[in-house]
Structure formats: structure tokens, C-alpha cells
């Protein structure tokens, strides 16, 4: 091997090392760029999904857990309900609806919710007499109850505009805190209509 060849070989090796290092750095930079782009895409997807869930929660539906016995036998404690909020954005509560409402007389910073059934709407004349419910002078058929109304008589009371008379389906004495105590409730306290029992799975059904 000539001296010229010997001098040229290290030069070529260095050049080869330089080229290989350049390719490696380029690959690393490219991979990092792809990873950051993918992370950004995932972040955008999560933000959008979170926003959609929030919108659905506030305006379309949520889940509520039954606490207490005021709606027996229709609902029992620890059942989970699908609550339809959208229905009252496009329509009004109706007699027979099982609704979730904020308990009246609570402070603005306090929130306690009740599940009750609407038995009277604006303009209705509600009266409880001889342990039975009357609406506009007519006896109300209540197949969802399992007893007569054991508490004292009530009314008559004419429900004012924009208000609703609610009662628990449990008609045993002192079993339900409802409009017999706090009177008819304004529509803004009603947060949604309970449409389905979702859990336990053996009790899944519409209301």
C-alpha cells in the first residue's frame, strides 16, 4: 500500500463516519417530530372528547343514584337512573314525569337533589282528601303507589304559572319530602326527567 493510499483511507473512513452520523441525527429528529405531532393529535382528540362529554353532561343527560325510600315502590335505594336533560330544553314537564329537582330552600352554594313525580302542573287544583289525591276535583288513578296517603290532608291549592306540584310515590307516613311540605316548585329547579333505570342490570327498564 502506498503512502498516498494510507493517507486517503482515514479520510474516507472519517467521511463515512460523518455521513452515518448525519443520517442518524436526521432519523432521530424525524422520529421526534413524528412523536410530537402524534402527541399533539392525541391531545386535541382528548380535549374535544372532554368538551363533548361536558356538553352532554350539562345539556343532554347525566346519571343519578337513588338515595332514600321516598319513591318506593317505583324506585329503590342505590338504583342508577338515566336522566334526560334535553327533553326540557325543547318541552315542558308533564304530569306523570319522574323528575330530578334541586331541593327548594337550599342556599346557592348548597346542592341537594330529589327525585319525585309531577302530579300537578300550572292551573291544576290539587287536594289530598280521605287519604287520596284529587286533581281538578277528580280522583287521580295512581297505579305506581302501594298504599293510601297516610299523612294529613292537603289543600286545595291551585298551582301558579310556571310551577309544579311533586310528590314521592311512597305514600306511607313521613316517607317523602315533597310539595306537601315546600309547596309547588318553580320550573328552574327541575333539572331533568328520569327516563330509565340503568342499574342493577336485572331492573333495567323505562319509567
As annotated, the active-site residues are: 70, 116
* Contact between residue 123 and residue 114 where contact means Cβ atoms under 8 Å apart: no
Residue 128 CB coordination number (10 Å) = 21
Q: How far apart are the first and last CA of the chain?
A: 96
DSSP state at residue 146: S
Determine the Cα–Cα distance for residues 165 and 122; give it in Å rounded to an integer: 9
From the list 128, 116, 95, 89, the residue with the least C-alpha distance to 194 is 116
Following DSSP, what letter does each residue of 99-126 receive, concatenated? Answer: EEEEPTT--TT---EEEEEEEE-TT-EE
Determine the Cα–Cα distance for residues 7 and 112; give it in Å rounded to an integer: 88
Amino acid at each position: 500500500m502506498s503512502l498516498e493510499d494510507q493517507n486517503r483511507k482515514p479520510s474516507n473512513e472519517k467521511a463515512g463516519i460523518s455521513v452515518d452520523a448525519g443520517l442518524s441525527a436526521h432519523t432521530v429528529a424525524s422520529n421526534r417530530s413524528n412523536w410530537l405531532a402524534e402527541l399533539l393529535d392525541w391531545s386535541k382528540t382528548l380535549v374535544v372528547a372532554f368538551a363533548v362529554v361536558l356538553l352532554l353532561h350539562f345539556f343532554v343527560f347525566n346519571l343519578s343514584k337513588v338515595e332514600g325510600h321516598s319513591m318506593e315502590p317505583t324506585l329503590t335505594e342505590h338504583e342508577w337512573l338515566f336522566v334526560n336533560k334535553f327533553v326540557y330544553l325543547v318541552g315542558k314537564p308533564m304530569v306523570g314525569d319522574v323528575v330530578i329537582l334541586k331541593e327548594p330552600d337550599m342556599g346557592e352554594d348548597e346542592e341537594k337533589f330529589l327525585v319525585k313525580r309531577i302530579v300537578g302542573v300550572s292551573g291544576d287544583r290539587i287536594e289530598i282528601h280521605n287519604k287520596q289525591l284529587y286533581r281538578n276535583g277528580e280522583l287521580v288513578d295512581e297505579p305506581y303507589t302501594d298504599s293510601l296517603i297516610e299523612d294529613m290532608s292537603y289543600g286545595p291549592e291551585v298551582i301558579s304559572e310556571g310551577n309544579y306540584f311533586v310528590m314521592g310515590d311512597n305514600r306511607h307516613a313521613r316517607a317523602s319530602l315533597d310539595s306537601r311540605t315546600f309547596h309547588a316548585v318553580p320550573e328552574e329547579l327541575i333539572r331533568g326527567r328520569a327516563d330509565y333505570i340503568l342499574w342493577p342490570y336485572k331492573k333495567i327498564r323505562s319509567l
